[in-house]
Structure 1
Amino acid sequence: MIDFRYHIVSLISVFLALAVGIALGAGPLKETIGDTLTGQVQALRAEKEGLRTQLDETGSDLAAEEAFVSASGERLLAGTLTDRRVALVLVGEVPEDQVTDLTERFAQAGATVSATATVNDTWTDPALTTYRRTLAGTLVSYLDEPPASDAGTDTELAEALVAGLVGGDSASPDGLSENASSLLDVLAEGDQALVTFTEDVTQPADAVVLVAGATPEAGGPAATTEETPAGLDPQLALVAAAERLAQGVVVAQAAPSDDSLVAAVRGDDELGGVTTVADTTTVSGQVTVPLALAADIAQQPGHYGYGDDLTVLPPAVQLPPVDRSPALPDAGAGAGDVPDATGDAGDANPGGEG
């Protein structure tokens, strides 16, 4: 059994070790330890200053490059989308400054943003599944070409939103049709509105640009439910509806990842031909979006950005002038000589020879 003498010896050993350490630290090793620590601090300080200098230089270079791209963008964009009308559909958290920048780029291209629609959380909230299903049943009655009866709620809502954005009045193509206005009103009304518009929508769009923000987190509002077997299904339904109903469609995203909407579109067998643009956080990405839309309208879709299997710059295209002549009532129906209400005569997706 350990006795008292053992504890005494242990305590004496500890105090002797402390005494020896203090003596060495204050004596022979004092200068060595001090010099070593001082040298390490100075080295770390110099490394920090070097990194700060590199960061400042990189920031200056990046700012200069973005200024050049921005200035060049005005020349690249001029006349590419003359008189076209574009609807922006925002899903996820899209920063307001990105929306402003994209709107400015479309203006430089000669286009007008006819609508900016934000898809609210109610569009995918699992607690509102029954509400959405009931609402979709009402909206379908306003669709000129309803989807199949088994299409599902996601498809019905997506078709309703896009049809509302692009639905022009055949007798007065600069205004929305009565059904299109009704669709948008129903989607945006009430405390549980599925969509919010920055301003009243009064003109039909020719094309749709779907801008995605942050990727939905697992377990969030867009998580797996009976109606949405995958988190991105409601957004993919919007893409599919835009591809079917609009003259052109582009899907763009802020810094897309492997599980982003842009990645999902590119990997989808049915939607792989939809034009996509990576990274709307950069000036180059924002300039690319209108160019990509012009190419898509010209039936030259592509995937644009920096990375494997991506193209840096869309091809230069020359779109024909927009024709918004009112349809002639009962004049030569089926003869192919009546301009359609969306713009270019007789062609639901105009844009040239491609």
Structure 2
Amino acid sequence: MIDFRYHVVSLISVFLALAVGIALGAGPLKETIGDTLTGQVEQLRQEKDALRTELDGTAGDLKDSETYIDAAGPQLLDGALTGRRVAVIALGKVPDKTQTALDQRLDQSGATVTAHVTLTDMWTDPDVRTFRQALVGQLTPYLDPAPPADAAVEADLASALVQALVTADPANPDALSNDASTLLDALSSSDNKDNPLVTVSDPVTMPADAVVVVAVPVEPVASGATPPPAPSADVVAAQVAVVSAAQKLSTGAVLADGQRGKGTLTDAILADGDLAAALTTVSGTDLVTGQINVPLALANRIGGVNGHYGFGDGETPLPPAVQLPAVSRTAAVPQDAGVGAAP
């Protein structure tokens, strides 16, 4: 058994070692230790300055590249969508900067933006699903083509929204049909006027040929911060339904998404082989490269080429060049018109 003397000897040894260390540090080793620490601090300072200089240079090069791509945008987009009419559907609140940039690129491609529509929380709120089901029953008579009888409510609403934006008056291809106007009015109002399913920035009077669906970007999470919950499966399904309806019911559609990452709609589409084969996506639309890719990707989709564009896995950096035929719009011919018809 360890006795008291052992503890005394141990304590004396500790204090002796501490005293020797203090004596050496304050005496013969003082200059050596001080010089070593000073040298290490100076080296770290020089390395930090070098890294700062390198970072500033890289940032400058990146800024120059963005400026060059931005300046080349009009030339890259010139004629890509000449004469095409495009409706823009935002799946939620999209940064104004991104929306304005996409509009600018569509304009540079020769397209005309006919509508800006934004889905509200009511579109996917589980507490108002009964209201949405009842609304679908009211909208069905105005849908042509009508969705399958077993289609989900989200698919029916998506069909109604797209048809409201692309269906032309049979007698006037430059005006919305009466049914389309009815559908849009129903979707943009509700029993509670403060909570419609969609909001429309300006009156929609002209039908679109194609559709750009803009996803809500997933915000980056700071290191150590708790990431926000990923969208539920029902929300993702409702958003995919809009993109699918836009592709099915128009001449072509593109999903314009933010940076790739957990929870993005692009990732959900690319993870599903059937969806990836049917729907076109563009990621990184918060940057000039993605913004320019949107009209180019839409031109490809109208031309029958599906693709995924960006810098992530499964994506191509730049859509191929494509030359679309000129747009031709004519009013429907009356049933009794033609050879032998009365004047």
In which range does the TM-score fall when normalised by the shorter chain? 0.7 to 0.9
CA distance in 1, matches of 2:32, 2:181: 82
Summarize the alignment of residues 3-22 of structure 1 with structure 2, pairs less than 5 Å apart. Answer: 15-22=15-22
TM-score, normalising length from structure 2? 0.85
Structure 1 residue runs of 5 or longer lacking an equivalent are 336-354
Indicate the residue corresponding to 1:154 in structure 2: 154
Distance 1:137 1:9, change over 3 A: farther
Pick the structure with more helix per residue: 2
Q: Name the SS for the 1:325 alignment partner.
A: coil
CA distance in 2, matches of 1:121, 1:2: 73
The Cα of 1:313 is off from its aligned counterpart by 2.5
Distance 1:46 1:100, change over 3 A: same
Summarize the alignment of residues 1-354 of structure 1 with structure 2, pairs less than 5 Å apart. Answer: 15-92=15-92, 94-189=94-189, 190-215=193-218, 222-224=231-233, 228=234, 231-257=235-261, 259-266=263-270, 267-270=272-275, 272-331=277-336
> 1:240 is matched by which residue type in structure 2?
S
> 1:129 is matched by which residue type in structure 2?
R
CA distance in 1, matches of 2:184, 2:77: 30
Percent identical among aligned pairs is 52
Distance 1:331 1:40, change over 3 A: farther
Moved more, 122-131 or 308-317: 308-317
Moved more, 106-115 or 165-174: 165-174
1:290-331: CA deviation from partner (whole Å, max 9, x where unpaired)? 111111111122222234543333232222222233223325
Q: Contact 2:93/2:118 (CA < 8 Å) preserved in 1?
A: no
1:64-123: CA deviation from partner (whole Å, max 9, x where unpaired)? 112221222211211121121111112255322111111001111111111122222222
Q: Name the SS for the 2:90 alignment partner.
A: strand
CA distance in 2, matches of 1:218, 1:104: 31
CA distance in 1, matches of 2:124, 2:216: 15
CA distance in 1, matches of 2:97, 2:336: 47
CA distance in 1, matches of 2:118, 2:216: 11
Alignment size in residue pairs: 328
Indicate the residue corresponding to 2:223 in structure 1: none
Structure 2 residue runs of 5 or longer lacking an equivalent are 220-226
TM-score, normalising length from structure 1? 0.83
1:130-174: CA deviation from partner (whole Å, max 9, x where unpaired)? 222222222223212221222011101111111111122122222
> 2:232 is matched by which residue type in structure 1?
A
The Cα of 1:14 is off from its aligned counterpart by 5.6
The Cα of 1:129 is off from its aligned counterpart by 2.1
The Cα of 1:234 is off from its aligned counterpart by 0.8
Query: What is the root-mean-square deviation of aligned Cα atoms in Å?
Result: 2.7
